[in-house]
Amino acid sequence: MLASVMLLIAPIALAGAVAGSASAQPDDGGEPAGLSVPWATLGLQSTVNLYGDGESTFSVEVPAGLTATRLRGMIHTPLNFTTGYVEINDAEGNFVASIEVPPVAPGLVMAPFDVDITSAVVRGSSMGLTFAIRARDDGDRVCDPLPRLELSNLETVFVGAQLPVTTVANFFAPVLERITIYVATDATSAEQQAVLTLSSALARLYASKPLAIGVVSQPRGTAPPPAAGLDRAILVETGDAGLSVENAAAPNAYLRISGDDEGLSEQVSLIASQLQPLAQAGKARVDQAGSPAAATPDTMTFKELNVGSEKTDVLGTNGLQVGIQRTSLGPRFNNIKVNLLADYTPIPERDAASIVIRAEGLVVYRAPLDESGHLDATFELNSTELQQQWIDLEFALTYTPEQACGPLVAPITFQIDPRSTLTMQRGGPPLGGFGAFPSEFSPDFLVAFDGSGPNQLDYAARAVASMARLNKAEITPQVVDLATAADATSGALIVANADSLKQTSLSPPVSGDGSIVNFALPSELKVDLDGGLGSIQAFADPQRNRSVVLVTTTSDWSLVAPLFSYIDGSTGDWSQLTGDVLAAGAAGTPTNVAIRTADSVFEPALTAASGPARHTSYVVAGVVAALIVVVWIAYLVIRRRRNRSTDELAGNRSTTDSH
């Protein structure tokens, strides 16, 4: 594959000028500033694209005790029209606000807007907002290209005071930014198990929102520090079984989850089943954990997968996409038979229409559309189209009427039937690389630590949360010792240093000892990296017919911290990682590489893979090139540190050796 080197990710400055506000700003006098919450935190896309006369509706969560007062963001210059506005209505169709479209002018890209939405009706804990383009142009709405407009950087401003935490139910507010789990420094395996199970449950509960989940170890018997705003604190410890809100209604309120042995993890099942809204009291206790969901069948309908019924209008060309998450299809498979059903406007004999379906850029089906108005297509997806966590079917539709475009010409409508089916052929070899994450770890997997450094439970919890967030089904981590995890035939998440891994039969893509690092290329590459290398690795273990995720370091555990910060900050989740290794040296620069897999090498995590395959020699060359970059950065950092030390010994107090 084409090799490329990712040196760093930096914010890119907006190109072009930014105009003044598209609406009046709130007056300076008296109005409270409020809490500004990005739409991403609310579980919504921060960018909205509007097309034609169609409406786009969004449900905005409103935290209890708060009132949504303003909507802010950027409105981009329009496409295919010049003047108009965006109309915003609430769920009942009442007018709420309007945003004037900025004029098309040289160098103008976008303008900020700030509108009052206090009149929008709130139902339960959410508020519906509908956006639509209202163009003032006299263009031909049938034959001219559809008007298009983008709103970005959306955020809602709330005012008021959040209701105090008094029950298990309102502890889990619909909108939270961070949950910190506190556990004893000398946590037992049962407490570790409960922490990981809780991390999984929380990630699934807030799957649509970028909730940060972390674990902090503290002396046993210590209460968590206060968590303010949209943060929460949970203490997991051995004790009498139950969930209880401690310090209810106070600023230092927290949730205590306790129990003995297996009973401790059983208490988490109230959250895992997402029935905690019914626990409308300060205390609750689980006496019997709920049973897991039934096994996934080999044949599933689009409706069962929560896809289907998608439709689009076509006059000329148009497209449609259906995305199916791999984890929703159950255990490992290496082939899918698709029976696609669809209905469309019958095509007159003298008109022409067609459909082309692609998966991973490859054409899997093509056919003309005719006067029947019904499509019943069967095609297969093999391993080539099934390498990623999302199976995307892209529909390219064309419709060319015989009559020239005019007022009497109308587009056809194409709609997918939710009774369409997917039939999975189970089996195949274990998947390697981050593409296997997390489908190879469902419904249960093993977790092991070697105890060689701090924060290992935090690293494991963040990895488990990432798996759960990408997995529609409940997943169950099981804490075992390192030897058991290494020799098992189940998927495993292992947090251990290079010395501990030498005592196992595992064969990861990257291994080593201190500064000596080995890369399992077709011909092994051995490099002396001053300071060592920390890494997160995802690889197939064919000997045991499973996949493994490994968090490790050849030197100090501080090398691993930047990797998780990178995932949380730059990519948002593990699904954006490519290849099979994310590594960082002494300079702390995360680098995404492919050692054994066929994925693109050293491709930035935010860029989609594309382009034709390249010879294996390009892969090797890419690995070597990036390693040179890592070594050079590490060398510069170490040399700078040594220079500082030399200057201090010589009595040089100059500060010019800073960056």
Give the pLDDT band of residue 652 (cuts 50, 70, 90).
very low
Lowest mean pLDDT among 69-78, 108-117, 402-411, 594-603: 594-603
User: Measured between alpha carbons, how far is 359 from 361 in angstroms, rounded to an integer?
Assistant: 5
pLDDT tens by residue, 327-339: 889 888 999 999 9
Using CB atoms within 10 Å of the CB of residue 329, give its burial: 0 to 12 exposed, 13 to 18 middle, 19+ buried: buried
pLDDT at residue 156 is higher than 50: yes
pLDDT of residue 247: 98
User: Measured between alpha carbons, how far is 304 from 473 in angstroms, rounded to an integer?
Assistant: 13
Q: What is the DSSP pairing of strand 352-359 with strand 212-218? A: unpaired
pLDDT of residue 240: 96
Tokens of 530: 């001053």
| Mean predicted confidence (pLDDT) in 615-644 | 41
pLDDT of residue 582: 96
**324 near 429, Cβ under 8 Å?**
no
Give the pLDDT band of residue 472 (cuts 50, 70, 90).
confident
Percent of the chain with pLDDT over 70: 84
Percent of the chain with pLDDT over 90: 65
Give 115's strand partners.
Answer: 71
pLDDT at residue 99 is higher than 90: yes
pLDDT of residue 384: 79
**57 near 128, Cβ under 8 Å?**
yes
pLDDT tens by residue, 380-403: 999 878 877 789 999 999 999 998
pLDDT at residue 635 is higher than 50: no
Give the pLDDT band of residue 408 (cuts 50, 70, 90).
confident
| Mean predicted confidence (pLDDT) in 154-180 | 95
pLDDT of residue 33: 65
User: Measured between alpha carbons, how far is 257 from 172 in angstroms, rounded to an integer?
Assistant: 14
pLDDT of residue 196: 98
pLDDT tens by residue, 25-54: 444 444 556 889 999 989 999 999 998 888
Tokens of 92: 């009942």
pLDDT at residue 641 is higher than 90: no
pLDDT tens by residue, 181-212: 999 999 999 999 999 999 999 999 998 888 99
For tokens 């694209």, the residue is 49
Give the pLDDT band of residue 342 (cuts 50, 70, 90).
very high
pLDDT of residue 572: 58
Q: Which of 47, 68, 193 is nearest to 123 (CA)?
A: 68
**41 near 61, Cβ under 8 Å?**
no
pLDDT at residue 350 is higher than 80: yes
pLDDT at residue 24 is higher than 50: no
Using CB atoms within 10 Å of the CB of residue 384, give its burial: 0 to 12 exposed, 13 to 18 middle, 19+ buried: exposed
**Continuous segment of H or E residues that includes residue 100:** strand 95-100
| Mean predicted confidence (pLDDT) in 409-417 | 93
pLDDT of residue 636: 39
Mean pLDDT score across all residues of the chain: 85
pLDDT tens by residue, 431-470: 888 877 788 888 889 999 999 999 999 999 999 998 898 8
pLDDT of residue 597: 59
pLDDT at residue 12 is higher than 90: no
| Domains with residue ranges and CATH for the chain | 21-160 (2.60.120.260), 168-284 (3.30.379), 299-404 (2.60.120), 434-642 (no CATH)
Give the pLDDT band of residue 481 (cuts 50, 70, 90).
very high
**369 near 314, Cβ under 8 Å?**
no
Lowest mean pLDDT among 157-171, 283-297, 355-369, 546-560: 283-297
